């Protein structure tokens, strides 16, 4: 294999592995910026993946090429509804955020496989017929050298997702909504005193994380796993959480860390085809994202451990 085709392979698989992580990590950022810890991202991704695959299988004939895109949205909406459980539990019912998030993670895989068995009478779905594949990005792929590496046989969705991370950054740091969202995550009491509806902002944060996590799961199922089973989402949600922390609760930071984690994952997936990393034990690449997250938390984050009121319940005074 020559250097260009190796790079093309690594870049495109990095993008494909990263995109679901980026979406979910951005979702986690919204939730935690509003002060609600969301360890349930994994469960939300499971529900997104499940709904997207079921929709894709049922309607592929009707919608043709557009199916994966519509299924993506279906996954996002399912994610919103599922994250509502977390929102109601933590915001309205004052549940511990970690316990409620764990409930999502316990509930999602069992519920999804339960429904798969009810619908299809077997433990996993068939492969979907309409999936996100590889394509060239017109014009940009004609750029010599770089065009071939970055824009040919690549994932368009991934570029859209990277664009979304910039939009999310603008929303969180440059809009009135973002300012309010961050204020209830830092000091809900002060925000309340200024007339900001703490509960509304926190519900928005959690439901946005449901949307993004659902999209992430739907994207993963339709670009990587191609079907749905109990092992479709195995740790991606937690890796997205790691990316969010590594990115210091900033959507662009989350995107860059997710790209890095996707790079590690893609090396472990395509490494066997590349001669000079063939001999590296795959375990180093597999554990890299998790080890790096711990090291970053310990060494670089220092005092900044996320939004100040993250993980606390707010009880409005009467």
Partner 1 sequence: MNNKLDKFFVPILSVIFGLLIGALIIALIGYNPILGYQSMLNSSLGNSLSIGETLRTATPLILTALGFAVANYVGLFNIGLSGQALAGWVGSIWFALVFDGLPKIILLPGSILAGILACALIGIIPGILKVFFNTSEVITTIMMNYILLFVSTHITHNIWPKSFMQGTDSTKIISNNASLRTEWLTNLTGGSRLNLGFLLALIFIILIYVLIKYTTLGFEIKTIGLNPIAAKYSGISLKKTIVSAMAISGGLAGLAGATEGLGTFQNFFIQSQSLGIGFDGMAVALLGSGSPIGIFISALLFAVLKNGAPGMNLAGIPPEIVNVIIAIIIFFVGAKYLIKYFITVEPKKEVKGEENK
Per residue, what are the HEC states of 33-62? HCCCCCCCHHHHHHHHHHHHHHHHHHHHHH
245 interacts with partner 1 by CB under 8 A:
yes
206 interacts with partner 1 by CB under 8 A:
no
Specify the residue, 68 or 213, whose C-beta has the smaller distance to partner 1: 213
Total number of residues binding partner 1 (CB under 8 A)? 57
272: phi then psi, degrees, rounded to nearest 5: -65, -20
Min separation Cβ 198 and partner 1, Å: 11
Min separation Cβ 60 and partner 1, Å: 25
Instruction: Give yes or no for a contact between 185 and 195, defined as CB atoms under 8 angstroms apart.
Output: no
291 interacts with partner 1 by CB under 8 A:
yes
Min separation Cβ 271 and partner 1, Å: 14
Distance, in Å, from the CA atom of 7 to the CA atom of 14, rounded to the nearest integer, reads: 10
Stretch that binds partner 1, among 3-11, 72-80, 143-151, 307-315 (CB under 8 A): 307-315
Please state, in angstroms and as integers, the Cα–Cα distance from residue 69 to each residue in 24, 56, 59, 79, 157, following that order: 17, 9, 12, 15, 10
Specify the residue, 100 or 148, whose C-beta has the smaller distance to partner 1: 100
**What tokens appear for 185 in the block?**
């995550």
234 interacts with partner 1 by CB under 8 A:
yes
Looking at 5, 58, 231, 275, which residue binds partner 1 (CB under 8 A)? 231
DSSP state of 92: I
1 interacts with partner 1 by CB under 8 A:
no
Looking at 117, 129, 142, 278, which residue binds partner 1 (CB under 8 A)? 117
SS3 state at 135: strand
Stretch that binds partner 1, among 66-74, 100-108, 142-150, 219-227 (CB under 8 A): 100-108
Closest CA relative to residue 307, chosen from 44, 95, 38, 22: 38
Closest CA relative to residue 185, chosen from 166, 209, 165: 209
User: Rg of the chain over CA atoms, in angstroms?
Assistant: 20
Specify the residue, 135 or 312, whose C-beta has the smaller distance to partner 1: 312
Closest CA relative to residue 30, chosen from 221, 182, 252: 182
135: phi then psi, degrees, rounded to nearest 5: -150, 165
Distance, in Å, from the CA atom of 279 to the CA atom of 262, rounded to the nearest integer, reads: 20
195 interacts with partner 1 by CB under 8 A:
no
Stretch that binds partner 1, among 14-22, 86-94, 138-146, 166-174 (CB under 8 A): 86-94
287 interacts with partner 1 by CB under 8 A:
yes
Residue 51 CB contacts under 8 Å (≥ 6 apart), including other chains: 71, 74, 75, 77, 78, 214, 218
Q: Give the x/- contact pattern for partner 1 in 23-42, rule: CB under 8 A.
A: --------------x-x---
238 interacts with partner 1 by CB under 8 A:
yes
Residues at the interface with partner 1 (CB under 8 A): 37, 39, 85, 88-89, 93-96, 98-100, 102-103, 105-107, 109-111, 113-114, 117-118, 188-189, 192, 230-231, 234-235, 238-239, 241-242, 245, 281-283, 286-287, 290-291, 293-294, 297-298, 305, 309, 311-318
């Amino acid at each position: 294999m020559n250097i260009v085709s190796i790079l093309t392979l690594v870049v495109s698989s990095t993008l494909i592995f990263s995109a679901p992580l980026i979406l979910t990590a951005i979702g986690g950022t919204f939730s935690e910026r509003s002060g609600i810890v969301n360890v349930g991202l994994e469960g939300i991704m499971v529900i997104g993946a499940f709904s997207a695959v079921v929709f894709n299988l049922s309607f592929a004939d009707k919608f043709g090429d557009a199916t994966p895109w519509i299924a993506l949205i279906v996954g996002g909406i399912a994610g919103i509804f599922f994250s509502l459980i977390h929102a109601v539990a933590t915001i309205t019912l004052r549940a511990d955020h970690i316990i409620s998030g764990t409930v999502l993670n316990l509930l999602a895989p069992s519920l999804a496989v339960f429904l798969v068995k009810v619908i299809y009478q077997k433990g996993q779905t068939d492969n979907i017929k309409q999936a996100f594949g590889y394509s060239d990005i017109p014009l940009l792929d004609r750029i010599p050298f770089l065009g071939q590496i970055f824009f040919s046989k690549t994932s368009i969705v991934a570029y859209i997702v990277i664009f979304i991370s910039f939009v999310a950054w603008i929303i969180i740091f440059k809009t009135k909504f973002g300012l309010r969202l961050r204020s209830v995550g830092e000091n809900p009491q002060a925000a309340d005193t200024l007339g900001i509806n703490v509960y509304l902002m926190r519900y928005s944060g959690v439901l946005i994380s449901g949307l993004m996590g659902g999209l992430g799961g739907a994207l993963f199922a339709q670009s990587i796993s191609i079907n749905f089973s109990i092992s479709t989402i195995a740790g991606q949600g937690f890796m997205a959480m790691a990316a969010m922390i590594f990115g210091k609760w900033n959507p662009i930071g989350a995107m860059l860390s997710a790209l890095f984690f996707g790079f590690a994952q893609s090396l472990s997936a395509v490494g066997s085809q590349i001669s000079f990393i063939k001999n590296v034990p795959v375990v180093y690449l597999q554990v890299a994202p998790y080890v790096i997250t711990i090291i970053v938390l310990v060494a670089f984050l220092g005092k900044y451990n996320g939004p100040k009121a993250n993980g606390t319940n707010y009880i409005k005074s009467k």
